[in-house]
Amino acid sequence: MFFNWQYMLKGALLVKKLWPIMVGTEIQLSQALLKDPPFVPLTHVTVSIPADTTTAEAAAALQQHEQEYLQIVEKAQAAAEQAALTHTAEHINKYVNLQNDYDKHMGVMLSMIYLSINLSLKPLITNLESPAKAYKAICTCYETNETSQLIQYHSELFTLKMDTDEDLHVHFDQIDTLVRQITLVDTAPSKAMIATIIISSLPPRFNAIKPVVRMWDTINNSQLHTMLLQHKLSNRNTTPLKETLLLS
């Protein structure tokens, strides 16, 4: 069933933290490199020359200072260029690693979708590279409105019957799954409704439980589960049913 598939796939992707990619809240990284600010050397410096300095000494001092200034600028520019190269290399390595992780996640998601669908649907997504596009393509074929989902889930819940040899835990899980599916679309069914559905879905060997539940002042589904499991055990042991119910 489409809705069961949709529910199970979303749960699996949430567990693997891949659902944000499917719904588009996590996007592929930009390939553009971050630009470093341009190197701007000092354009104004002040030189102190004593008053008794001759013109020739002042000119020599200025020339020496200019050479020292140029050397400082060259070193600063070389350091800035080296820092920019290092930053670019780190950015590229980080991008490559993140891109590889992203591509791996995309492949995992596509594989999960491909392996979870019927053989007849596989050609629909074979040539699609994006899991989001594959998911949308399948949903477009089968998705209906919320009212239809609720009708289907409620119909399955009210018609669910436990086989005579079925394990109680399996039956409880089936009911819990349908309840969760209904809750995702609408409000959760009441405790009384769930208890009624549990009781009505049981085979005849649990008929003795029904009058006891009707006498309860409040509905407690956990207690109901426990009582049903005790009744199951009482059928295997020699303890009479009435004694088991009184102990519960």
Q: pLDDT digit string (tens) for 130-172?
A: 888 888 888 887 766 677 778 888 888 889 998 888 888 888 8
Q: Select the highest-mean-pLDDT range: 103-107, 109-113, 239-243.
A: 109-113
62 within 8 A of 46, measured Cβ to Cβ: no
What is the C-alpha separation between 168 and 225, in angstroms, rounded? 9
The residue whose two tokens read 């477009």 is: 140
Confidence at 241, pLDDT banded by 50, 70, 90: very low
pLDDT digits (tens, 9 = 90+) for 61-98: 778 878 877 887 788 778 877 877 777 777 677 767 76
Structural domain spans, the chain: 2-141, 146-247
What are the tokens at 37? 């600010």
| 153 and 138 Cβ atoms separated by less than 8 Å | no
Q: Taking all residues of the chain, what is their mean pLDDT, rounded to a whole number?
A: 77
Between 203 and 99, name the one with better pLDDT: 203
Q: Identify the weakest region by mean pLDDT among 99-103, 135-139, 159-163, 186-190.
A: 99-103
Instruction: Determine the Cα–Cα distance for residues 238 and 96; give it in Å rounded to an integer.
Output: 68
Q: Cβ-count burial of 178 within 10 angstroms (0-12 exposed, 13-18 middle, 19+ buried)?
A: buried
